[in-house]
Each structure stands twice: as structure tokens, then as C-alpha cells.
Amino acid sequence: MIFVVRSRLPSLNGLRAFEAAARHLSFTRAAAELNVTQTAISHQVRRLEEQLGLRLFVRRQRTLLLTREAQQYLPAVSAAFADLRLAMDRLLRPDGKTVLTVSCLPSLAAKWLVPRLAAFQQGHPDIEVRIATSMHVVDFRREEIDLAIRYGSGRWSGLRADWLMAEDVFPVCSPALLAGDRPLGRPEDLVHHTLLHVNLYPDEWLSWLTAARLPTKLAAGPGLTFDLGLMALQAAIDGLGVALGRTPFVEADIAAGRLVAPFDVVLPSKAGFYVVAPEQTANRPKIAQFRDWLIAAAVVADP
């Protein structure tokens, strides 16, 4: 006799509530996004925590933080919902539309790419763009991806890689932090503030502190760590500490006054962003048109 053991999946509503609340670091904003009450989000998250037997959030007076377990769980949950949305889009795809699927980091999509997409849609109404965010390096052979924005040196076997843009790395924080009781006028003042870290860039604060000629032990002080750069930037906007901003991710928030760069010390990155596609398909019209538009948009953003 063969026994099949099936793992019990948690509530889908609970997962949706968790993913939205974790992305916003706010039950209120998650409730607004999902069109439910804040109480409903709180109950769904609490029920999910009971099902998992884990705490997902640390709740403070005006702050919502992810536990270590939640930080590890969030990328997989976000990817699962992205896959579901993509599958639904394919199922309901309108006839006659040319679909272009683009992969990139969640932070780059939210902070740089998505705000610019309206311009491409106006110029190319016949191409329907699908954005697939992911933390992993896309495998064009196995995944239904036409083009990707990839960070690195530009050398990937079997792929055409076109330079898109560079990025500088520098501290950013909320303007409210500058007006607080603790000074933040010089790099040395970071000793009095919480540093916000991103798992994807574990040594970035060490590199910046070295460039600023400050003790690297500051990076080991009290801090908060996130899986996604987008979350670290939101934490900085909310005044939870100082994050390291990357030019494409923070330019809009700086222009809008949500973030400021308190110091002049900038760490130039040794790599950059490239538009990549398999050599065999790189010159297909939809891919070539989007690639040309992307490169032109980057030039406008950084003249």
C-alpha cells in the first residue's frame, strides 16, 4: 500500500494579507490595497501565524517589522503570487496582442521601470508588457521570459547584453531624521542611528564606510535587515533608519522629498544594469523595440 502525504497549505487570504502587509510594512496600506479593513488584515495575518506556528511581524506602537522567518518566507510568497498573476494573464490573453514578458528585480521594477512604462505603452499600443519580478537570475531556457534587466558585468554566455545604466551608492534617509534630536550632518553621526541592510548586498555598508574613512564596526551595530531593497527604502522613508540608496531606486523619492542624501560620499558601483536577451531572439521586433526604448529612457534619466 502506498501512502501519499500532502502538506496542508495555509489560507490564501492569509498569504495575500501577509504579502501586502510585508511589502508595505503597514496593515493600513495593505488594507487599502486589498480593499478590506485593517482589522480584517490583522485577523488574517494572526490566523496565518497560528497555522504556521510562527510570528511573522513584530508590532510596535507605530512600526511594523518583519521577523527573520518572515523575511525568509516573503520572497517565495511574492514569487508565487506573481506566477499566479502571470498564469491568469496568459489564460485571459486578448487575441491579437503581442505580449512581451520582462524580468527584473522588484525594487528596480517599482522604483524605476513601472513609473516609465506609460510612455512605452503610448508609443507601442500593440505590445502588452508583462513585468515578472524575481530575485533570482532568470533562466531563458526554462522560463517564459523575453527580456531581462540584469545587474552585473555584462558578460553572460549565449546572451546579448546592452548597457543600460550605472548606479552610485550613497546613504539616504527621511527628511524627518535630519530634524530629529540626534544630529545627522556628518558621516560620523551615523553612530547614533540605525543602519538598514539588504541581504542581497551584505557588504555594501562595509564598502561605503571604508570609502568614507569610518570604522567598519559601525556596520555591525544595531540595525534592521531586509530581503528586498524596496523594503529597506520604505523603512528609510518611514524614518526607521538610514539606508544605502542606489541611484535608479531613489531618484524619484529624492525628487519628491520623501528621501534626502545627507552626505556627499558616494560609492561608485563596479557593475551596472544591462538589458539582456538570448542571442537567438534578441532581434525580434518586440524585444528590439523595448530594448531601444529602455536605453533611451535611461539616457533621459541620466543625461
Number of domains, the chain: 3
| Residue pLDDT, tens place only, 207-225 | 999 989 998 888 887 789 9
Same domain (yes/no): 178, 231:
yes
**Which parts of 182-260 are beta strand (E)?**
195-198, 223-226, 242-246
User: Has residue 289 got a pLDDT over 90?
Assistant: yes
Same domain (yes/no): 256, 275:
no
Q: How are beta strands 195-198 and 159-165 bridged, if at all? A: unpaired
* Short-list 123, 129, 122, 164, CA closest to 298: 164
Give the C-alpha separation, 162 to 225, whole Å: 32
- Polymer length in residues for the chain: 303
Same domain (yes/no): 175, 251:
yes
- Look-up of cell digits 485577523: 43
Grid coordinates of 236: 528609510
Same domain (yes/no): 195, 257:
yes
Same domain (yes/no): 118, 146:
yes
CATH number at residue 277: 3.40.190.10
Look at residue 83 and tell me if it is in a domain. Answer: no
Same domain (yes/no): 187, 157:
no
Look at residue 87 and tell me if it is in a domain. Answer: no
Amino acid occupying residue 23: R
Give the C-alpha separation, 84 to 278, whole Å: 25
Task: Determine contact, residues 121/129, Cβ cutoff 8 Å.
Answer: yes
Same domain (yes/no): 28, 68:
yes
Look at residue 195 and tell me if it is in a domain. Answer: yes
The single-letter DSSP state of residue 157 is: T
Look at residue 2 and tell me if it is in a domain. Answer: no
As separate numbers, helices (DSSP H) first and strands (DSSP E) second, the chain gives 11, 12
CA angle 98, 99, 104 (to 5 degrees): 150
Q: Is the dihedral of CA 228, 229, 232, 234 positive or negative?
A: negative
| Residue pLDDT, tens place only, 177-201 | 888 788 888 899 998 899 999 987 8
| Residue pLDDT, tens place only, 46-97 | 999 999 988 999 887 777 888 988 888 888 888 788 777 767 766 665 555 6
Same domain (yes/no): 145, 277:
yes
Q: Which domain holds residue 195?
A: 168-268
* Short-list 263, 266, 225, 231, CA closest to 246: 266
- Look-up of cell digits 496565518: 48
Look at residue 105 and tell me if it is in a domain. Answer: yes
Look at residue 252 and tell me if it is in a domain. Answer: yes
Look at residue 64 and tell me if it is in a domain. Answer: yes
Same domain (yes/no): 275, 149:
yes
Give the C-alpha separation, 272 to 269, whole Å: 7
Same domain (yes/no): 188, 228:
yes
CATH number at residue 68: 1.10.10.10
Q: What is the mean pLDDT of the chain?
A: 86
Amino acid occupying residue 99: V
Same domain (yes/no): 128, 195:
no
pTM reported for the whole predicted model: 0.63
Same domain (yes/no): 151, 297:
yes
- Residue 294 burial class via C-beta count within 10 angstroms: exposed 0-12, middle 13-18, buried 19 and up: buried
What's the alpha-carbon Rg for the chain, to the nearest Å?
Answer: 21
Look at residue 250 and tell me if it is in a domain. Answer: yes
| Residue pLDDT, tens place only, 230-274 | 889 999 999 999 999 988 889 889 999 999 999 999 987 778 899
If one counts every other C-beta atom within 10 angstroms of the C-beta of residue 112, the result is 26
